Chains A and B, each alone.
Chain A
Amino acid sequence: MPIVDLANPSRFLALTARLMPWLIGATVLAFAVGLVMVKGAPDDYQQGATVKIMFIHVPSAWLAMGIWALMAIATFGTLVWRHPLADVAAKAAAPIGAAFTALCLITGMLWGRPMWGTYWVWDARLTSVLVLFLMYLGVIALWRTVEDPSRAARAAAILTLVGALNLPIIKWSVDWWNTLHQPASVVRLAGPAIHPTILMPLLAMAVAFLLLMVTLHLAAMRNEILRRRVRTLMLMQAQAAPGSAS
């Protein structure tokens, strides 16, 4: 790896090292404010306190989709500009996206349990999120299977872009499939009518989740950069060893 390539990640590491404490503080603060606001939010007249699961479920769902969009943008950086940080960003984002998607699924199941009497019905929204979860796991598997980061990056970039194109089609197909089969009696998972007393805490939680995501993502990117440095150092050590010429 040429020195020029290392320069940019170095500045990134220095910058994020200074930024990180502030981000962590802001995340904690935002969660504190958000949770207090959630506590003050009224219960739903039908669902009672279970409706408050929404304040975790909905921001997770937004992030689940948002992080794929972030990965798709990062892959442009990989494929078009070959920016050294782009595929680091894409790789670091995948497990975080999968985690938020899993959180969205789990909270969805907990939310659905009292309404449906079972943890899972093939609700259109949750099913789309489940397919998204599978796609995240596929991208992670791809990253884990190919040892050379730059080769893995290009393959993952193509998969991510194809996924981004496919997601609306998948969403539309699942909706169509669901209306085809769904008996009308089953209650759908849908937010109650958005009322300001609910909207404000929801937005506060969304900000907190966003800050959490940014913090985790930057930390994961730092780890990935350091992991690649270790790899480069190992390669250099092998090359520097006596009689390495072949």
Chain B
Amino acid sequence: MSALAALFVREVRLAVRVGGGGGIGALFFLIVVVLTPFAIGPDLALLARIGPAILWLGALLASLLTLDRLLTADLEDGSLDLILMSDTPLELAVAAKAFAHWITTGLPLVVITPLLGLLLNLDAGASAAVALTLFAGTPALTFIGAIGAALSVTLRRGGLLLAVLVLPLTVPVLIFGVAASNAAIVGPVPFGTPFTILCALTLASLVVGTFAAAAALRQGME
């Protein structure tokens, strides 16, 4: 357990120190949301209607953007070799890294969501609903993304390949995340139905993402 705590603390430290780029994802999220009205026009009624969708798409892209470094940095400096050799199970190491990654990049997205809700003419209740669904759903994005990060590391190809691999897998999370937000704002479906499914998807991806990413790393061993 102490080994995993050490790994978690190290990841958080790296993210918040100079060069870590902890806040970049949140900044990207903000920019995506600001750009949307330039494309579709500043119609407040329209923005309020599609606001949850914009926020979810922005959060999806922002959490994907930062995943590239989840394992690449450790591959480049040789840390990954030592993590693979360690008696700490690789699955737990991947989970600790992904959890630290979510704390430093996913959680800030949730925190700034109410602010971005103002820009999209969402009222306080709607913003809170979107923030709640993002809080429940972004861990799924991180852990599904971890699979892509592991695959792209073993293939020695980063960047866009990761997005192409991961984005189709995030479709269910996006569907139920936006559905739950809309259910809370306009109905007619009760909020609980899609939100429970969203939580189930997150819990499932915590397990599947962890094991699949670890398997991909082991498989990628030459």
Direct A–B contact in complex, judged by CB atoms less than 8 Å apart: yes
A contact residues vs B (CB 8 Å cutoff) = 109, 118-122, 127, 130-131, 134, 137-138, 141, 144-147, 174, 177-178, 180-182
* Total chain B interface residues with beta-carbon distance under 8 A: 18
Q: How many A-B residue pairs have CB under 8 A?
A: 45
The reply to whether B34 and A130 contact each other, CB–CB distance below 8 Å, is yes
The reply to whether A122 and B23 contact each other, CB–CB distance below 8 Å, is no
Give min CB distance, A175 to chain B, whole Å: 12
The reply to whether B44 and A118 contact each other, CB–CB distance below 8 Å, is yes
- Asked, given contacts A122-B42, A144-B19, A181-B43, whether A134 binds B119 with beta carbons under 8 Å apart, the answer is no
Closest to B119 in A: A120
Give min CB distance, B121 to chain A, whole Å: 6
The reply to whether B44 and A121 contact each other, CB–CB distance below 8 Å, is yes
Please report the C-alpha to C-alpha distance between residue A138 and residue B23 in the assembled complex, in whole angstroms: 11
Q: Does B82 make an interface contact (CB < 8 A)? A: no
Please report the C-alpha to C-alpha distance between residue A137 and residue B23 in the assembled complex, in whole angstroms: 10
Q: Does B18 make an interface contact (CB < 8 A)? A: yes
- B24 cross-chain contacts in A, Cβ below 8 A: 141, 145
Please report the C-alpha to C-alpha distance between residue A197 and residue B53 in the assembled complex, in whole angstroms: 48
The reply to whether B34 and A182 contact each other, CB–CB distance below 8 Å, is no
The reply to whether B19 and A138 contact each other, CB–CB distance below 8 Å, is no
- A146 cross-chain contacts in B, Cβ below 8 A: 19
Q: Does B27 make an interface contact (CB < 8 A)? A: yes
Please report the C-alpha to C-alpha distance between residue A180 and residue B38 in the assembled complex, in whole angstroms: 11
Q: Does B50 make an interface contact (CB < 8 A)? A: no
- A180 cross-chain contacts in B, Cβ below 8 A: 41
Please report the C-alpha to C-alpha distance between residue A130 and residue B38 in the assembled complex, in whole angstroms: 12
Q: Does B30 make an interface contact (CB < 8 A)? A: yes
- B37 cross-chain contacts in A, Cβ below 8 A: 122
- Asked, given contacts A118-B44, A120-B121, A182-B42, whether A144 binds B30 with beta carbons under 8 Å apart, the answer is no
Give min CB distance, A132 to chain B, whole Å: 11
- Residue of A109, A145, A174, A178 near B118 (CB, 8 A) is A109
Give min CB distance, A95 to chain B, whole Å: 13
The reply to whether A145 and B19 contact each other, CB–CB distance below 8 Å, is yes
A-B contact pairs, 16 of them (CB 8 A): A118-B44, A119-B118, A121-B42, A130-B34, A134-B27, A134-B31, A138-B27, A141-B24, A144-B21, A145-B18, A145-B24, A147-B18, A147-B19, A174-B38, A177-B38, A181-B41
Please report the C-alpha to C-alpha distance between residue A30 and residue B27 in the assembled complex, in whole angstroms: 35
**Which of B18, B21, B27, B42 has the most chain A CB atoms closer than 10 A to its own CB?**
B42
- Asked, given contacts A147-B18, A181-B42, whether A141 binds B27 with beta carbons under 8 Å apart, the answer is yes
- Asked, given contacts A138-B27, A144-B19, A146-B19, whether A120 binds B34 with beta carbons under 8 Å apart, the answer is no
Q: Which chain B residues (3-58) contact chain A, with CB distance < 8 Å?
A: 18-19, 21, 23-24, 27, 30-31, 34, 37-38, 41-44
- B121 cross-chain contacts in A, Cβ below 8 A: 118, 120-121
Give min CB distance, A61 to chain B, whole Å: 18
- A182 cross-chain contacts in B, Cβ below 8 A: 42
- B41 cross-chain contacts in A, Cβ below 8 A: 180-181
Please report the C-alpha to C-alpha distance between residue A122 and residue B43 in the assembled complex, in whole angstroms: 8
**Which of A137, A147, A182 has the most chain B CB atoms closer than 10 A to its own CB?**
A137
- Residue of A109, A131, A144, A177 near B34 (CB, 8 A) is A131
Closest to B123 in A: A118
- A121 cross-chain contacts in B, Cβ below 8 A: 42, 44, 121
Please report the C-alpha to C-alpha distance between residue A122 and residue B34 in the assembled complex, in whole angstroms: 10
The reply to whether B119 and A144 contact each other, CB–CB distance below 8 Å, is no
- B118 cross-chain contacts in A, Cβ below 8 A: 109, 119-120
Give min CB distance, B86 to chain A, whole Å: 28
Q: Which chain B residues (153-204) contact chain A, with CB distance < 8 Å?
A: none
